[in-house]
């Protein structure tokens, strides 16, 4: 049988997006699909010599472009018909569309709201193609805490999504809350494919009562409560230590080290970051994964981030802020503690209430949860979507 041709669209660097990388691999494992990825990257980029790629060098809008588009974005709040013309004038959108219609693709897989119009237009042009839309997050509330976003971009995004989402045969979301919100807003019923890591069999290890190790990894952002994590050490006994593997600029790192030196000298460690594929095995040495993501917008409240699943895969108990989606997983599996708030005191109170037995139980239950919350299980759901299309 002739393989079906799939065009994956992403306005991100195609070799740096883990969710897109999983999509490519799952389609290859399925068999019967010829995959092309259209997105950003270096010219001539080749991913594992398996996938055809059409890549463009990302470029930001010029100041002049922004000045010209700002009045249109404002007018779009009252005249939604302007959204299309604004969108198609964005950098590389037409280039990606031309790449998408360069071959007779059977399926267009749009990642994020900003490739959905390309996929819909290309499918309309080719007549027989189908569209799968992976929303990733909920686009229209992604930065709802920002007045600038509300003023210029919220209506713009919602217009484009509303105009094109029903052209997709299947819609995918990363969490149940986002799926429910898409259903409530647009009347679609998305499938949920979570950002779970690859399955790795990790061993349980006992907790050293003289050095209970907390850990946190990933990129720095003001909403992620990094400073609060550090300050919590000042409220915990000296047998607790905190280990970071952060991606941030030098200035931010020096600021964090200063806070650590003041709050808990000698008990906060900043280790070099490691490759994504190495994270689970590296953090397996710790005891509790901690995360105080603040509910600054809908997507934060609905978050089920990579690091949360990586903690579980590594066999760590978790201690998190009271966000509903992560709370649901923690309570279902009994693999951690939920803080009463998003501040250092709430975290310290939650952690100090745990006995060594509690931590041991959380770690064992995390390993059990990981048997279900992994990329093999999610990949089977993804493959069934394609098989049933």
122-167 pLDDT per residue, tens: 999 999 899 999 999 999 999 999 999 899 899 999 999 999 999 9
How many CA atoms, within 13 angstroms, populate the side-chain half-sphere of residue 38?
Answer: 27
Q: What is the pLDDT of residues 229-270, one digit of tens each?
A: 999 999 999 999 999 999 999 999 999 999 999 999 999 999
Phi and psi, residue 290, nearest 5°: -115, 145
Convert 279-343 into a string of H (helix), E (strand) and C (coil).
HHHHHCCCCEEEECCCCCCHHHHCCCCHHHHHHHHCCCEEEECCCHHHHHHHHHHCCEEECCCCC
Mean pLDDT, the chain, whole residue set: 92
Domains of the chain: 4-196+375-388 (3.40.50.2000), 212-372 (3.40.50.2000)
Pairwise CA distance, residues 379 & 382, whole Å? 5
- Residue where the block lists tokens 């006995």: 355
For 89-196, where are the E strands, in sequence order? 107-111, 130-134, 170-173, 191-192
Give the length of the chain: 389
Q: How many CA atoms lie within 13 A of 378 on its CB side?
A: 22
107-111, strands of its sheet edge to edge: 52-56, 33-40, 4-13, 107-111, 130-134, 170-173, 191-192
- Mean of pLDDT values over 53-82: 67
Are the beta carbons of 281 and 212 closer than 8 angstroms?
no
Is residue 241 within 8 A of residue 269, CB to CB? The reply is yes
* C-alpha triplet 363, 326, 323: angle, nearest 5°: 130
Q: In this prediction, what percent of the chain has a pLDDT beyond 90?
A: 81
Q: What is the pLDDT of residues 303-323, one digit of tens each?
A: 999 999 999 999 999 999 999
pTM across the whole model: 0.90
Query: Could you report the per-residue pLDDT of 27-49, keeping only the tens digit for each?
Result: 999 989 999 999 887 644 455 44
State how far the Cα of 25 lies from the Cα of 383, in Å rounded to an integer: 10
* Dist CA 316 CA 24 (whole Å): 29
Q: Quick one: which H or E segment has residue 82?
A: helix 82-88
Give the separation between CA 218 and CA 388, rounded to whole angstroms. Answer: 36
Task: Identify the CA nearest to 197 among candidates 347, 51, 25.
Answer: 25
From residue 146, how far is each of 71, 371, 372, 384 by CA, in Å?
Answer: 18, 38, 36, 38
The end-to-end CA distance of the chain, in Å, is 16
Per DSSP, the three-state class of 157 is helix
Tens of pLDDT along 169-209?
999 999 999 999 999 999 999 999 999 999 999 999 999 99
């Amino acid at each position: 049988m002739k393989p079906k041709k799939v065009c994956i669209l992403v306005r991100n660097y195609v070799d740096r997006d883990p969710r897109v990388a999983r999509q490519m691999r799952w389609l290859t494992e399925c068999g019967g699909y010829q995959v092309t990825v259209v997105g950003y990257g270096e010219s001539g980029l080749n991913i594992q010599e398996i996938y055809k790629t059409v890549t463009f060098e990302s470029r930001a809008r010029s100041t002049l472009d922004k000045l010209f588009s700002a009045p249109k974005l404002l007018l779009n709040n009252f005249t939604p018909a302007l959204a299309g013309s604004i969108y198609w004038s964005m950098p590389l959108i037409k280039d990606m569309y031309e790449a998408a219609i360069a071959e007779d693709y059977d399926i267009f897989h749009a990642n994020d709201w900003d490739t959905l119009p390309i996929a819909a237009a290309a499918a309309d042009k080719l007549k027989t193609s189908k569209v799968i839309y992976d929303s990733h997050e909920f686009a229209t509330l992604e930065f709802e805490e920002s007045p600038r976003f509300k003023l210029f971009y919220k209506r713009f995004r919602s217009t484009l999504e509303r105009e094109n989402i029903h052209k997709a045969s299947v819609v995918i979301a990363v969490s149940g809350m986002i799926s429910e919100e898409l259903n409530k807003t647009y009347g679609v019923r998305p499938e949920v494919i979570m950002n779970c890591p690859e399955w790795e069999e990790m061993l349980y290890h006992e907790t050293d009562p003289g050095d209970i190790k907390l850990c946190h990894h990933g990129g720095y952002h003001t909403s992620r409560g990094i400073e609060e994590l550090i300050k919590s050490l000042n409220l915990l006994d000296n047998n607790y230590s905190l280990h970071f593997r952060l991606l941030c600029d030098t200035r931010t790192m020096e600021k964090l080290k200063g806070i650590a030196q003041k709050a808990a000298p000698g008990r906060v460690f900043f280790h070099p970051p490691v490759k994504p594929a190495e994270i689970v095995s590296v953090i397996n040495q710790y005891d509790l994964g901690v995360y105080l993501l603040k509910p600054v917008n809908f997507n934060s409240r609905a978050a089920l981030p990579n690091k949360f699943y990586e903690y579980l895969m590594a066999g760590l108990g978790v201690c998190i802020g009271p966000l509903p989606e992560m709370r649901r997983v923690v309570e279902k599996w009994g693999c951690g503690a939920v803080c009463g708030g998003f501040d250092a005191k709430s975290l310290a109170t939650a952690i100090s209430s745990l006995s060594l037995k509690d931590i041991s139980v959380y770690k064992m239950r995390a390993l059990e949860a990981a048997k279900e919350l992994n990329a093999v299980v999610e990949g089977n759901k993804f493959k069934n979507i394609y098989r049933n299309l």
